[in-house]
Each structure stands twice: as structure tokens, then as C-alpha cells.
């Protein structure tokens, strides 16, 4: 009997460990110290199971005590919504107990032709081989689940949790029937109930993975909406800037002519000096970057002004004359996001190290866009897309640029090396003809 007691203790430990693992996958807001919040439910669950097993005759009825207890302890130790705690507990109970037992007993019943029990100390118990197989299956199922769920970060909606709970209650009913028949009624042949429980466990897991996929698609749709809204807002901004610039440039040309007349008039020296100073102050419009694309001119002028305000050495050599197949919204995405990222990186450097270079134009059968800037030596962890605090609203710049380049069959690549960050975009020219 000592062997069976040892196997039972090991089984309880693996069940508790399953709770520990599932809590780590789903619950992210501990009420106490992280180690305490994660260990307390698992340890207290293991103690309760051992007490109920060795000091009571509840048999299968203990299911209705230990499952709610695991749920309450999880909720008590974490601030996660109840639906998260509920799904956590359901998955733990399936992976840590129901699935391995149902599959193990069904498999060994087939191997032993239904002869799955033996007499030990006057009691009818399952053969020790079944315990061992069940434990091995539990470890395998738990390892697979951990590999799939360890980076779980999707939103569990209330309706999703309700559907999963309904499925769980159905399989719990069959599992309880099997356990109660064996432990309380001494009915040895529970193969049909075990097979049904196995099928329902698989159904629950498939349903959960489907729910996970739906959550992923739901979040991707939300992110796409945010990206589209950002791009439209950025595009509208540059459209407004373009209209404003056209009005200002028209006023500038008239003003320049008036000032030239005033400088050459018979006025006083003070009047002519004032006219010359005014003309010098508006001379920036003569230094306007002319790329061959008026929309791109506005973007580069706007970014150059922002760079100067932040004491960044900004230079642009761009020739987009004849490049008329890229839509204005995509030009805004490619140049606007790329230069914004470069400005953000330069802000973290000393003023003397703040440099941005933009080169773009047609090279044979490709349009080439190069944005290069100095950057801090340390690199971001691979899992992070941005240094900004709000990772949902920011960090889409590179993703949007890649999508815009791929829209025209192009590529977008980045390289960070020796304190320089280089963004390179290559887009094939339709028709593939050289200039």
C-alpha cells in the first residue's frame, strides 16, 4: 500500500504544479508578492486534496470542494477579472487531472482488456501501471499546454468565458460520474464514461484554442483600425500643411517683389535696410526642398523644421521627379514615420551627435529610400517594438512602412550597427524600365 500512497502524493504534487503553471500563464496582477500569489493557491490546493483523500470518505464528491477552492484561492491572490480566474482553473483541472486520468484509464483498459483494478490491503484500486501512465500523460499534456500558453496575452471576453464554462461543466459531469461510480459505488467498468470525458476534454481544448484565435483576430482588427486612423490623421495633416504652404508661398512671392521694389526705391537708408532684413527673414522659402513631388516637399519641410527645433542636423537629398505611382498616403507613411522615428532616436543623444540623413530617388528600375540616423548604443529587446509607454498606440511605424512598401512589391529593411540606424526601402518601378 505504501507504493500507492507514494503515487497518490506524486499525483497531488503534479496537480498542484499544473495550477501553478496555469496561473503563471493567465494571471498577471498579483495582490501580494508575485511568488506568494503564485505559490499560495497551488500549495493550499495540494494540502486540501491530501487531507480530503486520506482523512475523509468523500470519494468523487470531493470534486465539488477542490475545484471551487482552487478558483477562490486564485481570485483571492490575483486582481485579474473573474473570467480569467475561471478559465485558469478550468484549464488547470483539465490538464492537471481530468484529461490525463480519462485518457490513461481508457488506454490501459484497452491494453488490459478491461482488467484495470487489483486488490491491495482488502481495497480495490487501479493497477500501479495505470497511475504511472497517467502521471506521464499529465506531464506531457502540461508541457504542451505551457508551450502554447506561456505568452498568452489576449483578451478573454465574458461571452468566451461563458461558452468555455458551459463546455467545462458538461465534461465535469461525465468525469464526476466516472469517479463517483468507481470510488463511491465500486463500479469498475467506467470505460464509456472515461472515453466520453476524453472526447469532451479534447473538445474543450479545441474550443479554447478557437477562442484564443478569435481573440487574436479581434485584437488585430482593433490595431488595424488604430493604424488606419493614425495614417488618415497624418495624411490629413499634410494635406492641410500643403494648402497652407501654397497660400504662404503665393503671399511670399508677392511680398518678395514688393520688398525688392522698396529696396530699390528712393526711400531712406533705414527703409531699404528694413526691407532687406524682412526679405532675409522670409528667405527660407527660397531654400525649399524641391523633390519633384509637392506633397513630399511639404513632408520634408515639416520634418526639417521639427529637426531644427530639436537641434538635429537634418539633410535631405531627394529626387522624386517622375515617381508618380506612389500614392500620397503611402508617401506620408514611408517618409513621415521613418523621419519621426529618426527624430525620436536622435533626441536621446547629445546635441553634437544628432544627425539625420534622408536620400531617395530612382535607381535603375527601383525607387530607393534611405533614412539614416545616429542612435543610442543599446538595442531594444526583440519583444519590444517601441520605447514609448503606450505600446498599443505607438510602435506601428515600421509595420506600416513595411505594409506600404509591400503594397508596391517592395521591401523594407532595417539595420542597427555601430551607433547608426539605417532604414532602407526598395520599391520596383512599374514596367521595370530604366530612365
Look-up of cell digits 527673414:
281
- Band (pLDDT 50/70/90 cuts) for residue 389 is very low
The answer to whether the beta carbons of residues 427 and 419 sit under 8 Å apart is: no
Q: How far apart are the first and last CA of the chain?
A: 89
Instruction: Return the higher-pLDDT residue of 245 and 332.
Output: 332
pLDDT in tens, 168-184: 999 899 989 988 887 77
Our CA dihedral for 430, 431, 432, 435, rounded to 10 degrees, sits at: -90
pLDDT in tens, 151-209: 887 788 888 889 999 999 998 999 899 888 877 777 777 888 888 988 999 999 899 88
* pLDDT at position 394: 34
* pLDDT at position 329: 84
Instruction: Return the higher-pLDDT residue of 258 and 430.
Output: 430
Neighbour count for residue 6 (Cβ, 10 Å): 12
* pLDDT at position 395: 43
pLDDT in tens, 95-143: 888 888 888 888 888 888 777 777 776 777 778 888 889 999 999 999 9
pLDDT in tens, 308-325: 899 999 998 999 988 889
28-32, 250-254, 272-276: which has the minimum mean pLDDT?
250-254
Instruction: Return the higher-pLDDT residue of 293 and 4.
Output: 293
* pLDDT at position 18: 92
- Band (pLDDT 50/70/90 cuts) for residue 370 is very high
pLDDT of 230 > 80? The answer is no
pLDDT of 44 > 90? The answer is yes
* pLDDT at position 384: 41
Instruction: Return the higher-pLDDT residue of 418 and 314.
Output: 314
Most confident range (mean pLDDT) of 40-44, 92-96, 97-101 is 40-44
pLDDT of 265 > 80? The answer is no
- Band (pLDDT 50/70/90 cuts) for residue 211 is confident
* pLDDT at position 376: 81
Nearest alpha-carbon partner for 83 in 154, 4, 142: 154
Rounded distance, CA 204 to CA 207, Å? 5
* pLDDT at position 123: 72
Look-up of cell digits 474550443:
207
Rounded to the nearest 10 degrees, the angle between the axes of helix 269-281 and helix 191-263 is 160
* pLDDT at position 379: 47
* pLDDT at position 273: 67
**What average pLDDT does the segment 212-220 reach?**
80
The pTM is what? 0.60
* pLDDT at position 106: 86
* pLDDT at position 381: 42
pLDDT of 145 > 70? The answer is yes
Rounded distance, CA 309 to CA 313, Å? 10
The proportion of the chain whose per-residue pLDDT surpasses 90, expressed as a percent, equals 29
Q: Long-range contacts: 299-303, Cβ < 8 Å, 24+?
A: 299/238, 299/331, 299/332, 299/335, 299/336, 299/339, 300/335, 300/339, 300/358, 301/245, 302/238, 302/241, 303/335, 303/336, 303/339, 303/340, 303/343
Amino acid at each position: 500500500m505504501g507504493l500507492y500512497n507514494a503515487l497518490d502524493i506524486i499525483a497531488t504534487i503534479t496537480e498542484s504544479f499544473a495550477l501553478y503553471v496555469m496561473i503563471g500563464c493567465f494571471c498577471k496582477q498579483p495582490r501580494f508578492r508575485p511568488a506568494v500569489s503564485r505559490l499560495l493557491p497551488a500549495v493550499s490546493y495540494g494540502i486540501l486534496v491530501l487531507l480530503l483523500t486520506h482523512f475523509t470518505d468523500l470519494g468523487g464528491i470531493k470534486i465539488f470542494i477542490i475545484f471551487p477552492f482552487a478558483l477562490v484561492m486564485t481570485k483571492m491572490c490575483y486582481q485579474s477579472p473573474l473570467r480569467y480566474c475561471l478559465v485558469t482553473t478550468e484549464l488547470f483541472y483539465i490538464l492537471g487531472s481530468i484529461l490525463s486520468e480519462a485518457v490513461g484509464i481508457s488506454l490501459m483498459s484497452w491494453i488490459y482488456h478491461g482488467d484495470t483494478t487489483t486488490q491491495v490491503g482488502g481495497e480495490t484500486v487501479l493497477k500501479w501501471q495505470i497511475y504511472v501512465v497517467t502521471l506521464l500523460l499529465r506531464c506531457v499534456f502540461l508541457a504542451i499546454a505551457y508551450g502554447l500558453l506561456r505568452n498568452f496575452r489576449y483578451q478573454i471576453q465574458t461571452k468566451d468565458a461563458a461558452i468555455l464554462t458551459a463546455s467545462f461543466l458538461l465534461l465535469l459531469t461525465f468525469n464526476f460520474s466516472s469517479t463517483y461510480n468507481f470510488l463511491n459505488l465500486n463500479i469498475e467498468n467506467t470505460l464509456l464514461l472515461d472515453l466520453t470525458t476524453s472526447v469532451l476534454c479534447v473538445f474543450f481544448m479545441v474550443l479554447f484554442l478557437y477562442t484564443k484565435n478569435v481573440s487574436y483576430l479581434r485584437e488585430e482588427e482593433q490595431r488595424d483600425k488604430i493604424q488606419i486612423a493614425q495614417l488618415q490623421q497624418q495624411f490629413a495633416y499634410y494635406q492641410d500643411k500643403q494648402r497652407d504652404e501654397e497660400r504662404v508661398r503665393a503671399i511670399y512671392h508677392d511680398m518678395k517683389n514688393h520688398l525688392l521694389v522698396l529696396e530699390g526705391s528712393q526711400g531712406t537708408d533705414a527703409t531699404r535696410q528694413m526691407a532687406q532684413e524682412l526679405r532675409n527673414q522670409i528667405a527660407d522659402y527660397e531654400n525649399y526642398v524641391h523633390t519633384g513631388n509637392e506633397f513630399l516637399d511639404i513632408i520634408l519641410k515639416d520634418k526639417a523644421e521639427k529637426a531644427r527645433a530639436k537641434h538635429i542636423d537634418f539633410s535631405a537629398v531627394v529626387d522624386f521627379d517622375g515617381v508618380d505611382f506612389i500614392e500620397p498616403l503611402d508617401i506620408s507613411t514611408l517618409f513621415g514615420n521613418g523621419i519621426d522615428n529618426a527624430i525620436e532616436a536622435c533626441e536621446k543623444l547629445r546635441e553634437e551627435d544628432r544627425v539625420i540623413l534622408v536620400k531617395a530617388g530612382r535607381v535603375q528600375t527601383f525607387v530607393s529610400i534611405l533614412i539614416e540616423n545616429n542612435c543610442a548604443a543599446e538595442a531594444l529587446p526583440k519583444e519590444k517594438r517601441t520605447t514609448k509607454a503606450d505600446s498599443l498606440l505607438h510602435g506601428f511605424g515600421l509595420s506600416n512602412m513595411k505594409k506600404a512598401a509591400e503594397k508596391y512589391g517592395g521591401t523594407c529593411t532595417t539595420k542597427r550597427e555601430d551607433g547608426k540606424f539605417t532604414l532602407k526601402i526598395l520599391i520596383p518601378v512599374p514596367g521595370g524600365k530604366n530612365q
